Amino acid sequence: MAENAIEQYRKFKEQEAALFVRAKADLMAKYDDLAKQFEALGIDMPNRSKALSVVATGLKRQRDPQRPCPYCNVTGHDGRLHRNQGDRKRAFTSDELEAYARQGRHSA
Ligand SMILES: [Zn+2]
C-alpha cells in the first residue's frame, strides 16, 4: 500500500514537472505572439527576461521598499496590504502594524 502511494506520488511529481514545462512553453508562445504585435506597432516588448523570471517564480509582485504606503505614509508595506479594507481604506493603527509585522507582512 505504502509503495503504491510512493509510486503514485512519484508519477504525480513527474506529471507536475511536465505540466510546468508545457505551461511555460504555452506562456512563452503567447509572449512571442504579443512581442510580434508590439513590434508591429514599433514598440519594444517590455523585458523578456523579467517575464521569464515571473514564470519561474510565480506571479508574486515586487514591492519598492523605499516607497511609503499611500494610506499610512510609512514604509514597510504598500497599499496592497489594505485590500481587505474594501472601499473605505484608512491608515493602520500601531497595533495593526505590529500585528502585520508579526505576520511578516510589514517591516517596521
Ligand atoms: Zn498602509
Nearest alpha carbon to residue 78 among 90, 65, 96, 94? 65
Helix H or strand E segment including 21? helix 2-40
Does residue 42 share a domain with residue 18?
yes
Mean predicted confidence (pLDDT) in 14-30: 92
Q: What is the pLDDT of residues 31-43, one digit of tens each?
A: 888 888 888 888 7
Asked if 9 and 50 sit in the same domain, the reply is yes
List pLDDT tens digits, range 52-68: 666 666 655 666 778 89
The answer to whether residues 40 and 84 belong to one domain is no
Confidence bin at 20 (pLDDT 50/70/90): very high
Confidence category of residue 51, pLDDT binned at 50, 70, 90: low
68, 48: one domain: no
Residues 43, 21: one domain?
yes
For residues 25-34, give the mean pLDDT.
89
Q: Residue 85 sits in which domain range?
A: 63-108
Residues 10 and 52 in one domain: yes
92 plus 72 within the same structural domain: yes
Count of the separate structural domains present in the chain = 2
Q: Comparing C-alpha atoms, which of 63, 108, 70 is closest to residue 89?
A: 70
| 99 Cα: distance to centroid of ligand 1 (angstroms) | 13
Q: What whole-number distance in Å separates Cα of residue 76 and Cα of residue 105?
A: 8
Distance 77 CA to ligand 1 centre (A): 6
How far apart CA 44 and CA 56 sit, in angstroms, is 22
∠ CA 4-8-9, rounded to 5°: 115
